[in-house]
Amino acid sequence: MPRFGTVLFDLDGTVVDTRELIRQSHRHAVTTVLGRDMPDDELLANVGRPLTEQMAAFDADRAQELLEAQRTWNHAHTAELIRPYPGVGEMLAALKGAGCRTGVVTSKSGPTVQLAVDALPEVAARIDVLVAMEDTSVHKPGPEPVLLALDRLGADAADACYVGDAPFDVAAGRAAGVTTVGVTWGFFPAGAIADADVVITDVPALQAYLMGAA
């Protein structure tokens, strides 16, 4: 029997492997607009926040230029570089087969999310609700995106969890009153998500936990 009636997921670094896509998109923007080289840890430090905030962290005065350069490169290369983490499609199928409601809660913009979803039908077909950046005025680490997903699903926070790889995900889930599940295969090390209720290191273990087998 599933552990939760509703399971919500972050997208990047949780359901889909976008590390190379985002790394190259950010590097293109920073190199093209600012003429700078930047180490990966600095490029990816704010993944999980809205892209506008990530670009402003590089240069607040040129954030819009950076945003446009990043999105143009990202959209052109999404289908080429995005992929689900191994086992995620099967895990989602198992959850749906057991009667769980599922959702994705992300800080990505709607059009960018749609490109990702279109490239991954095995994920898209098994998600009941999608909350993107434009759906709320306050974003992670605030609770609003998670609460909106619960509302759209008619779900109770006490019977729900939020799975993510970033400290922003853990904070948002906790503020929304759901169980928080941190995963270590994404953008952030285990120490960054140590405050999660549960920390899980691989997809099979996540499936076992969500299905009540662990």
**DSSP three-state, residue 31:** helix
156 is catalytic: no
Count Cβ neighbours within 10 Å for each residue of 36-53 and write b for 16 or more, e otherwise. Answer: eeeeeeebbbbbbbbbbe
182 contact partners, CB below 8 Å, separation of at least 6: 163, 164, 165, 169, 170, 190, 193, 194, 195, 196, 198, 199, 200
Give me the amino acid identity at 137: S
Q: Which residues are catalytic?
A: 10
